Amino acid sequence: MLLELTNVETWYGPIPALRGVSLSVSAGEIVTVLGANGAGKSTLLRTIAGLVDPRVGEIRFEGRAIHGLEPDAVVRAGISLVPEGRQVFPLLSVAQNLEMGAFSRRDKDGIAEDRARVFAMFPRLEERQRQASGLLSGGEQQMLALGRALMTRPKLLMLDEPSLGLSPRLVAEIFAAIRQINETIGMTILVVEQNARVALANAHHGHILELGRVVLSGSTAALSDNPDVREAYLGIREGGIRGQRRWRRRKTWR
Ligand SMILES: Nc1ncnc2c1ncn2[C@@H]1O[C@H](COP(=O)(O)OP(=O)(O)OP(=O)(O)O)[C@@H](O)[C@H]1O
Ligand SMILES: [Mg+2]
């Protein structure tokens, strides 16, 4: 396992946001975590990234305990987070934002190769290289945030709701890029999403988070076939008595 969480609890003061989360991510996979607003998706990524400390539990990366490390030490270990809401440096140009991603690297050829890869994936960024990033559209800023994270060449790339606020066409473009990165250079990707349809279509494995707990895990094929997932996350209702199905879901998922 590249990443392994065991019984992780994260609290904000008296409020539990993660209540004993155990999950793992294999090297080379795209893994998605699905959940509604407030389920704890961002907290999960922020806990892995060292931005908040878990109160209980273990986080191991390549076998090494990383819980309690400072965020910069987690980055050096090979984990990169694209937070919710993009967060590019608005006054810096597109090219400068990409350089920021590579600032700790010394391998010039590798950096040039990665920059070329980002521009091949997102030609619009290449066209706007000298433009201040704050002037990019929301979708372009999401591409840039993803590109900047790629420039750090992480072993694990974590994305917090990359589809948020984007048109269906841009969502498809972003997820095509995510797959391409995974397939061409084998980068492991952990992506949290509310958009279950697109996440299940593109990831290998998934975990469903409800109120800080993982209530269901499996291959995305199995999750997509699960009647509870279909009803609650994909909005597909088939057969049975509706009320009964909803009631059964509550009984089995807690
Ligand atoms: N800094 C904070 N202080 C106190 N409570 C917080 C803080 N951040 C998040 N929470 C709470 O923790 C819970 C999980 O929040 P989190 O942001 O992880 O959810 P999420 O699944 O990312 O939701 P969304 O889909 O809306 O982004 C929520 O109940 C939220 O109100
Ligand atoms: Mg969130």
> What is the per-residue pLDDT for 254?
39
Q: How far is the CA of 43 from the centre of ligand 1 (A)?
A: 6
Using a CB cutoff of 5 Å, list residues around ligand 2, an ion: 41-42, 84
Rounded-to-integer distance, Cα 116 and Cα 158, Å: 21
What angle do the packed helices 168-185 and 108-121 form, to 10 degrees? Answer: 150
Nearest CA to ligand 1 atom 1: 12
For residues 48 and 200, the answer to whether their CB atoms sit within 8 Å is: no
C-alpha 26: how far from its chain's center? 14
| Residues in the chain where the model's pLDDT stays below 70 | 239-254
Q: Ligand 1 pocket test: pick from 43, 213, 215 the residue with the most ligand atoms within 8 Å of its Cβ.
A: 43
- Per-residue H/E/C for the chain: CCEEEEEEEEEECCEEEEEEEEEEECCCCEEEEECCCCCCHHHHHHHHCCCCCCCEEEEEECCEECCCCCHHHHHHHCEEEECCCCCCCCCCEHHHHHHHHCCCCCCHHHHHHHHHHHHHHCHHHHHCCCCEHHHCCHHHHHHHHHHHHHHCCCCEEEEECCCCCCCHHHHHHHHHHHHHHHHHHCCEEEEEECCHHHHHHHCCEEEEEECCEEEEEEEHHHHHHCHHHHHHCCCCCCCCCHHHHHHHHHHHHC
Q: How many CA atoms lie within 13 A of 110 on its CB side?
A: 13
> What is the per-residue pLDDT for 104?
85
Within 6 A (CB) of ligand 1 lie 12, 15, 17, 35, 37-43, 84, 194
Q: Ligand 1 pocket test: pick from 12, 18, 159, 194 the residue with the most ligand atoms within 8 Å of its Cβ.
A: 12
What pTM value is reported for the model?
A: 0.92
Q: Ligand 1 pocket test: pick from 8, 10, 11, 15 the residue with the most ligand atoms within 8 Å of its Cβ.
A: 15
Rounded-to-integer distance, Cα 95 and Cα 148, Å: 9
Domains and CATH numbers, the chain: 3-78+154-253 (3.40.50.300), 88-153 (no CATH)
Amino acid, single-letter form, for residue 236:
I
The dihedrals phi and psi of 70, each to the nearest 5 degrees, come to -70, 155
Rounded-to-integer distance, Cα 232 and Cα 200, Å: 14
pLDDT digits (tens, 9 = 90+) for 17-55: 999 999 999 999 999 999 999 999 999 999 999 999 999
| CA of 209, closest atom in ligand 1 | 21
Nearest CA to ligand 1 atom 18: 40
Q: How far is the CA of 29 from the centre of ligand 2 (A)?
A: 22
> What is the per-residue pLDDT for 251?
46
Rounded-to-integer distance, Cα 7 and Cα 54, Å: 10
Paired tokens of 223: 């999750």
| CA of 18, closest atom in ligand 1 | 14
Q: Which residue has the tokens 């920021």?
A: 100
The 10 Å CB-count burial string (b at 16+, else e) for 127-142 is ebeeebbeebeebbbb
**Residue 33 CA: which ligand is closest?**
1
Q: How far is the CA of 254 from the centre of ligand 1 (A)?
A: 20
| CA of 13, closest atom in ligand 1 | 4
Amino acid, single-letter form, for residue 194:
Q
pLDDT digits (tens, 9 = 90+) for 2-19: 999 999 999 999 999 999
